[in-house]
Chain A
């Protein structure tokens, strides 16, 4: 099969072609490896999606379910013997002695590691500008951000540098970059996927999920990710196997539009694409109605207490003792800790550690952390109430399309507002998917569909029906990659 045809295949279609013997796993891996490596070595000329790319294709594994469709993995997943740096200088060159459960599961199912993708440092950011390895560019417009924090994963899939990618979502870090790059991103129910081997940001919210070209690919990847893992006490078994979606219609499906997340603060072009999608859903047979999530406007405030609090605790482990960077010339142990953390962490990470330390400090705990946990209860109750009347909640994924590089870096609060529509679902632990639903000024707009805990199969079906009707064309984001530069910077290791 010729290389350009290979790149046209979705992961699901590639599995079929591999199964039928129309394509070999090595051929498929190399088609992507060459592109990923070229982007990595292109320096300022590329999108900067990858922090590491496999040097060669792994051995064929013909009996596996996924037959060797290569996988791009966000840098924060630990991969044995392969740099896993979570976008941070403090972990520069760190090669873990073990592999994250979800990466092992996918590799075991026949999705070998293609490369590690760039991200916001420790997954803190909405634009991928907070990476120690430089920003990722949006393949739709290189003056714009791809979103974050899984920006490298999203841009790589949109640009055709990887067939699919693994990301993580804490407050929107899969869904928002998927929306800004015109691809599909799914945050599963909290606990559906093991967090073992994910470098932690906010443990009560972090969840791994797929970033893919279409909804079927998201279902296929999810099927091989889920399940209880004895090494993550919060992981659990899904009540049913993940099915590949087939729905074409939405008869009998009730979609709820929350006033609180669909009016104020949403860009006009985004709102227009959202309204057009609701009309499309109606034509497919869905009942569209208004619902209330009265506490949703407070979700962002609660999130920016809870997530920094958990991060300040999780990131205490980066102290220059066991791995990563250590500042030189320290006078004593405490001085070594504080200097290492000063040198190793970027500005946003420092900001959140400070915020979290404050929110957890004696005398402020009840006013901040304690209150935020109670707000979280109210938000969960809002969703539970809404799901009595509707099957799914729909909103725009992001209030804006991809914004310009540097546009929000000077104002943390405006950056945080990028997560306005995605954070409530994270706090409630419920699954939510973003699918591309149109363009505004030539840039992709994402539709977010959220369902009750464990409703993944129904959610994927609804997303599939809409996807088929919308017929979004992401072809404009595919980048041309020449062979120039490939191999100048051979990376170590052959993958997992």
Chain B
């Protein structure tokens, strides 16, 4: 699960994490007790329509600003380690 979450966990973190997650999962498992046959899911509480704006070109961040907070840059882009070192 840590690998899926892109999270390195040290040995000392694993045991308490497993214990605490189990306790929380036991608690949330209570939602399994409710009869939810034919109940639709809610992902947004209010009915919304027309959320899209017109697709018109407009100014965005300059490259300089967009790269300004990056830990490493190379010329015109973000610099990252090779995917396969």
- Chain A contacts to B: CB under 8 angstroms: 94-98, 189-191, 204, 230, 233-234, 236, 295, 298, 300-302, 304-305, 312, 316, 319-326, 330-339, 341-342, 345, 347, 350-351, 353-355, 357-358, 361, 367-368, 370-378, 380, 412-413, 416, 427-430, 453
Contacts and interface: CB of A to CB of B under 8 A. Distances in A.
Interface string B41-66: 11111101001110000000100011
For B3, B7, B78, B80, which residue has the most chain A Cβ atoms within 10 angstroms?
A: B7
A341 B83 CA distance: 17
A377 B39 contact: yes
Contacts of A230: 53
A296 to B, nearest CB: 12
A369 B40 CA distance: 13
A342 B69 contact: no
B40 A377 contact: yes
Contact of A326 (B17, B36, B52, B72): B72
A193 to B, nearest CB: 13
A429 B85 contact: no
Contacts of B45: 190, 204, 376, 380, 427-430, 453
B17 A233 contact: no
A355 B28 CA distance: 11
B7 A350 contact: yes
6 contacts: A319-B6, A321-B71, A324-B71, A357-B5, A361-B1, A413-B27
B31 A371 contact: yes
A454 to B, nearest CB: 9
B2 A380 contact: no
A374 B38 CA distance: 9
Nearest to A378: B39
A324 B78 CA distance: 13
Nearest to B5: A357
Interface residues of B, number: 52
A43 B27 CA distance: 38
Contacts of B10: 342
Interface of B: 1-10, 13, 17, 20-21, 23-25, 27-32, 34, 36, 39-46, 48, 51-53, 61, 65-66, 68-72, 78, 80-85
Contacts, number: 172
Given A355-B21, A368-B28, A429 B46 contact: yes
Contacts of A355: 21, 24-25
Given A321-B70, A326-B72, A334-B83, A191 B6 contact: no
A interface secondary structure, majority = helix
Contacts of B23: 412-413
Contacts of A324: 69, 71
Given A338-B8, A372-B28, 6 more contacts: A302-B28, A335-B81, A339-B8, A351-B17, A355-B25, A357-B1
A67 B10 CA distance: 52
Closest A-B pairs by Cβ, 8 of them = A429-B45, A373-B41, A326-B71, A233-B51, A342-B8, A338-B8, A332-B85, A323-B69
Given A321-B80, A322-B70, A342-B9, A191 B46 contact: yes
Contacts of B66: 97, 322
B7 A338 contact: yes
Contacts of A191: 46, 48
Nearest to B40: A377
Nearest to A343: B8
Contacts of A453: 45-46
Contacts of B40: 374, 377
Contacts of B65: 97
B20 A412 contact: yes
Contact of A97 (B6, B24, B69): B69
B8 A375 contact: no
B28 A236 contact: no
B52 A233 contact: yes
A347 B20 CA distance: 11
Nearest to B62: A97
A351 B21 contact: yes
Nearest to A371: B31
B27 A301 contact: yes
A237 B51 CA distance: 12
Nearest to B41: A373
Contact of A341 (B8, B21, B52, B53): B8
A322 B21 contact: no
Contacts of A295: 34
Nearest to B83: A333
Given A97-B66, A298-B34, A350 B13 contact: yes
A173 B40 CA distance: 28
